[in-house]
Amino acid sequence: MKKKSKSESENDLRPEYDFHSMRLVARGAGRKVPQDITVRLAPDVAEAFPDSESVNEALRFLIRVTKGQPAQSR
């Protein structure tokens, strides 16, 4: 069996493959760390909160109540 030369093996891809439009997925030690933390809410809990800011506000209130601190206006 004859081995393919380097130039023959580089041309195995079809011309219709468009790698420029593909999304790049960074993996490994040098990748960027996401700034936000994603938390999944149960469907019944998610119904009570229209957005992430309302979830944060409710959790901040709960933290203040459990620590006995007075509520601060924003």
Residue 34 maps to a domain: no
* pTM strictly above 0.75: no
Residue 66 maps to a domain: yes
Residue 67 maps to a domain: yes
Pick the more confident residue, 73 or 15: 15
Residue 55 near residue 47, CB atoms below 8 Å: no
Residue 62 maps to a domain: yes
Greatest Cα pair distance, the chain, in angstroms, is 81
Residue 64 maps to a domain: yes
Domain that holds residue 44: 39-74
Residue 71 near residue 61, CB atoms below 8 Å: yes
32-66 per-position pLDDT tens digit: 777 788 889 999 999 999 999 999 999 999 999 99
Residue 57 maps to a domain: yes
Q: What local confidence, expressed as pLDDT, does residue 4 receive?
A: 59
The number of domains in the chain is 1
Q: What local confidence, expressed as pLDDT, does residue 1 receive?
A: 60
